Amino acid sequence: MPLVTKDGFQHLPEAAYITVDQLTETDEPWLAVEVAGDVDVSAIAPHFEKISLIAVQFPSFADGRGFSIARHLKRLGFDGELRARGHIIADQYAHALACGFDGVEINDEVAERQPFDQWQDAANKVLPPYRQKMAG
């Protein structure tokens, strides 16, 4: 799955994601964890130190739980890399970034239909007034 970053699509080797349940079984550092939409992420917080990457699943672009999960993880103090992973479309890119995701890992099929310039356009959109004021 290509990773959308500010500079373009990056084709990285697939991270060795573990599940939230597997977190308690290991003390290894630099873990990559994949989180589903129905997980209570406060249970992950005690393990933050050994996690370097959390990928939040988007089973469908219409399932917006991941946006709230990202906000929650940030509030709990997670400062590693946060990715949205799955079916996300370019039109959601700015929203994903605004909710705290560092990048999105998208399906190959979506990457083919929506080349990088569409993601760039989405990231450069004008923000609604309230958020501009909050940002300033």
Partner 1 sequence: MYRYDEFDAAYVKDRVNTFRGQVNRRIDGSLTEDEFKPLRLMNGLYLQLHAYMLRVAIPYGTLSSRQMRALAMIASKWDKGYGHLTTRQNIQYNWPALKDVPDILDALADVEMHAIQTSGNCIRNVTADHFAGAAADEIEDPRPTAEIIRQWSTEHPEFLYLPRKFKIAVTGSPNDRAVTKAHDIGLRMVRNDTGEAGYEVIVGGGLGRSPFVGKVVRDFLPKSDLLPYLEAILRVYNLHGRRDNKYKARIKILVHETGIEDLRAMVEREFEQLDGPSVALAEEEVARIEAYFAPPVFAKLPQHSSALEQAKKADAEFAAWVETNTDAHKQSGYTIVTVSAKAIGEAPGDLTTAQMDVLADIAEQYGHDELRISHEQNVILPHVRLDDLRIVHAALADAGLATANANLISDIIACPGLDYCALATARSIPVAQDIQQRFADPVRAKAIGEFKIKISGCINACGHHHVGHVGILGLEKAGIENYQITLGGDHTETTAIGDRAGPGFAFEQVGPAIERLVDAYISLRANDNERFLDTYRRLGLEPFKTALYDNERTAA
Contacting partner 1 within 68-97 (CB under 8 A): 68-69, 71-72, 75, 89-92, 94-96
Q: CA nearest 41: which of 15, 67, 16, 17?
A: 67
For position 121 contacting partner 1 by CB under 8 A, the verdict is yes
Q: Are 89 and 110 in contact (CB under 8 A)?
A: yes
Distance CA 57, CA 88 (A): 10
Residue 77 has a CB neighbour count (10 Å cut-off) of 8
Q: Which is nearer to partner 1, 33 or 89 (CB)?
A: 89
For position 108 contacting partner 1 by CB under 8 A, the verdict is no
- Contact residues for partner 1, defined by CB under 8 A: 61-65, 67-69, 71-72, 75, 89-92, 94-96, 98-99, 113-114, 118, 121, 125-134
